Structure 1
Amino acid sequence: MDITEQNAAERLLLKDPDALAFVFEAYGTGIYRLAQRVLAGIGQPQDVEECVSDVFLTAWNKIAEFDPSKGSLRVWLHIIAKYKALDYRRKRSGGAIMEPLVSEPEERQTTEELALNRARIEDVVRLVESFDPVNRQLFYKRYFYYESMEEVARSSGLTVKAAESRLGRMRDHLKRKLLAGEEEFG
C-alpha cells in the first residue's frame, strides 16, 4: 500500500518509518521555512535543523493526538513547528518574546487548563480552515509562515493595503467567534 497524504497519519500511528519519510518529504520544506522565519537572527543555522528534527520527532511520538476532523496533517505539523520554533527562539534569545494566541501547555497546568488550551487551538484551526482558500492562504502565509506583508500581497496578487484589510477582517472574525464561544461555555 502506497503512502499518500490521506493515509500518512494512519501509517504514522502504526509507526511506519516510510510514512515518516513521506511526511518529511511532503512537508519538510514548508516546516523548515517556517522555523527559519521564526528563528531569523537568533542562534546558528543548525538550530533551524534541530528544530525541524524536533517537530518530526514530536509528530512521530504524538501522532495519536492528531484529529483529522479538526484540520489536516499539514496544519497540525505547522502548528507543532510554530510552537517548537517559538520555544527555540525564547531559549536562544535569553528572554521572553510576545506570547502566541494560545500558549504551549506547561507542565504545571491542571488537566482542565490543558483541555481548555487544546480546545482553543482546535477552535482556531477549525475557524481558519473555514476561510475561503484565498483568505486561508493569506492567513497562513502571514501568521504561520511569518511572511512579510509585501510577500503576502505579492503572492496573492493584492496590494499591501488590501492584504492588510483582509487580514484585519479575518482577525476580527476570529476574535468575535472565539469570544462568542467563551460566552457560550463560560
Structure 2
Amino acid sequence: MVDFIQRLQQHEEKALRYVVQQYLGYVKAIAHKILGDSFGHMLVEECANDVFLLIWQKCHQFEGDETDFKKWLGIIAKYKAIELYRKHQKYQDTVSIEQAPPQISQDNIEIHLEKSFEKEILLIEVLHLPPSERELFLMKYYLDYTNGEIADILHISKAAVENRLYRGKKKLAKNPKLKECLS
C-alpha cells in the first residue's frame, strides 16, 4: 500500500487502518518509553489512540514520503506521550477541591486554557517548518533537550543548534498569534 499517505489525506478509512496496523507497535513503544510502567498499560493505549486521532485530523498537513511519515508519526507520539505524562503527573500531585486554595478563579482557568490553545497552535506551526528546523524545535521545546544534547544527537555544533533555533523563531514570530508563545 505505497500510496497510503495520499489515501489517508483523502480520509479513506482503509488507509487509517493500514497506518494503525503498520505503526501501532512503533507508537506504543515510544509511548511506553516515555510513560514507563508507572502509569500502566491503559495510558499507553490512550496515548496511541490520541496519536492516531491526531494523524487522522492533521494528515492533510503532512508532506513527504513514507520515511518522513514515520518520523512525523514518531514526533507526534513523543509529544502526546509527554503531554499525557505531565497531565497524569499533575493528577498524582493534586489536592481535592476542599483543600484547594481559594484564589482559583474563572480568570485563572481561562488563562490556562488560552496557554494550552497557544501551545497547540505553536505545535501546528512547528510542523510546517522544514524538517531540520521542525526536529530541533520539537527536541528543544517539547522533549526538553538542552542545546548541547541536541547538538550531540544531530552531530552538529551547539552554535549551529542555537542559530537554527533563532532563525526558526524568527519565522514563527511572523505569525501574530505566536509572538506571545515565543517570548
Structure 1 equivalent of residue 145 of structure 2: 147
Structure 1 equivalent of residue 132 of structure 2: 134
Structure 2 equivalent of residue 177 of structure 1: 174
Is contact 1:149-1:160 (8 Å) kept?
Answer: yes
Task: Kindly report the root-mean-square deviation, in angstroms, between the aligned alpha carbons of the 2 structures.
Answer: 4.1
Is contact 2:7-2:15 (8 Å) kept?
Answer: no
What percent identity do the matched residue pairs reach?
A: 14
Alignment of structure 1 residues 1-186 onto 2, 5 Å = 10-11=12-13, 16=17, 19-33=19-33, 35-36=34-35, 45-47=37-39, 49-59=41-51, 62=53, 66-71=57-62, 74=73, 76-94=76-94, 117=117, 121=120, 123-174=121-172, 176-179=173-176
Structure 1 position 4, deviation (Å) = 5.3
Structure 1 position 68, deviation (Å) = 1.4
Structure 1 position 152, deviation (Å) = 0.8
Separation of aligned partners in 2, 1:138 and 1:131? 10
Which TM-score applies when normalising by structure 2?
0.57
1:125-167, Cα deviation, whole Å (9 max, x unpaired): 4432332322222122222333333221112222223313322
1:53-75, Cα deviation, whole Å (9 max, x unpaired): 22123346x46961312346725
Separation of aligned partners in 2, 1:87 and 1:125? 17
Separation of aligned partners in 2, 1:141 and 1:64? 19
Q: Structure 2: which 5+ runs fail to align?
A: 63-68, 96-108
Q: Structure 1: which 5+ runs fail to align?
A: 37-43, 96-107
How many aligned positions are there? 152
Separation of aligned partners in 2, 1:13 and 1:22? 10
1:36-92, Cα deviation, whole Å (9 max, x unpaired): 4xxxxxxx73326543222123346x4696131234672554443332222112123
Q: Residue type of the partner of 1:154?
A: D
- Compare CA radii of gyration and give the structure with the larger one: 2
Q: Residue type of the partner of 2:38?
A: Q
